[in-house]
């Protein structure tokens, strides 16, 4: 295992210390328990927006804490859910009197622990709502979930919902926006290589030099099938067709197209994937009006990519365009 490490057991905490030092103008880092909170929290009268999950998916979620996106993020150990006490303390840290929305990826541990944290917060009189994202069309159940996994739509929801909260909307309205984004988005991913969790010290799974996994999850969960390596055009066809046909997306739709790197894929390949995706969608009469290309929801150093499509309406488009200032996304501010 070749990684930049001191002690694998300290990687998460040491990384948080570095993140806090690098972005002290945006966030504060709390280490007991671990969470990353926007520097000016709590914002009185504003709905707090919280998300979280296992570490190893950076920049999600801590990289999306700041004005116009998340108020606080809870990182667990690598690929391990944060604990209820983390989420409970984080919820209290961003309660400005208007309630707190939990955005939860559909992984069993995350869902259960978020539910426990919400119950604890409610006993303190904090109003809490939750939306579970489940946009992955690859498999109905996985090693980590009952039902579809929550993947790329989570990033888009955090941006759009964060903008709605920044406008001063109430908790019910912010929750409705999050539910709409989740309902109108679909994703699917693939892997060219495994990643290595430092504590394990070996690849999570084995792939031959001429093989790829289609429909992979963000923790190395098995996908739909293992196939021989194909061209980027063929890979996009394998990922985008199930996405388009699932919602379904139709001719005349306007979408946000999100091409995401899994951590070990260079940007030049991601833009190639985007070109192929744009060509495929154009052939189906679907118009890309917004896009995001880069590594935003990763699996350590795994090579591969995922595609997410979100059907846009005027309101979601305006909220996507609203100013955001975080370590991982920044425009208009």
Residue in 242, 193, 218 with CA at minimum distance from that of residue 143: 218
- CA–CA distances in Å: residue 148 to residues 63, 70, 105, 136, 244: 24, 23, 10, 6, 16
Helix (H) or strand (E) holding 111: helix 108-123
Of 23, 61, 102, 219, catalytic: 219
Is 219 a catalytic site residue?
A: yes
Residue in 146, 134, 16 with CA at minimum distance from that of residue 82: 16
* Interstrand relation of 254-261 and 287-294 (parallel, antiparallel or unpaired): parallel
The answer to whether the CB of 99 falls within 8 A of the CB of 127 is: yes
Burial of 105 (0-12, 13-18, 19+ CB in 10 A): buried
Of 57, 61, 102, 275, catalytic: 57
Residue in 256, 268, 333 with CA at minimum distance from that of residue 292: 256
Catalytic residues, by residue number, are 57, 219
């Amino acid at each position: 295992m070749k990684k930049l490490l001191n002690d694998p057991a300290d990687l998460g905490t040491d990384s948080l210390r570095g993140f806090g030092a690098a972005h002290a103008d945006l966030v504060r880092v709390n280490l007991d328990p671990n969470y990353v909170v926007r520097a000016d929290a709590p914002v009185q009268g504003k709905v707090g927006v919280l998300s979280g999950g296992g570490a190893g998916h950076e920049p999600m979620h801590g990289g999306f804490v700041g004005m116009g996106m998340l108020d606080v993020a809870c990182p667990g150990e690598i690929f391990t859910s944060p604990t209820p006490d983390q989420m409970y303390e984080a919820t209290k840290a961003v309660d400005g009197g208007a309630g707190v929305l939990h955005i939860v990826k559909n992984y069993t541990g995350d869902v259960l622990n978020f539910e426990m944290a919400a119950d604890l917060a409610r006993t303190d009189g904090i109003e809490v709502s939750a939306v579970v994202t489940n946009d992955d069309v690859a498999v109905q159940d996985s090693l980590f979930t009952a039902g579809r996994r929550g993947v790329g739509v989570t990033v888009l929801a955090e941006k759009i919902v964060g903008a709605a909260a920044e406008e001063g909307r109430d908790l019910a309205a912010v929750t409705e926006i999050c539910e709409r984004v989740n309902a109108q988005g679909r994703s699917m991913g693939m892997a060219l290589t495994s990643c290595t969790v430092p504590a394990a010290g070996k690849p999570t799974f084995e792939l031959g030099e001429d093989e790829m996994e289609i429909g992979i999850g963000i923790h190395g969960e098995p996908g739909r099938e293992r196939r021989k390596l194909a061209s980027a055009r063929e890979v996009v066809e394998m990922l985008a067709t199930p996405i388009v046909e699932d919602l379904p997306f139709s001719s005349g739709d306007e979408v946000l197209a999100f091409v995401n790197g899994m951590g070990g894929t260079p940007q030049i390949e991601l833009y190639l994937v985007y070109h192929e995706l744009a060509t495929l969608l154009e052939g189906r009469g679907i118009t890309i009006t917004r896009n995001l290309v880069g590594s935003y929801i990763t699996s350590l150093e795994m090579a591969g990519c995922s595609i997410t499509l979100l059907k846009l309406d005027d309101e979601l488009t305006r909220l996507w365009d609203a100013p955001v200032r975080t370590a991982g996304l920044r425009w208009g501010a």
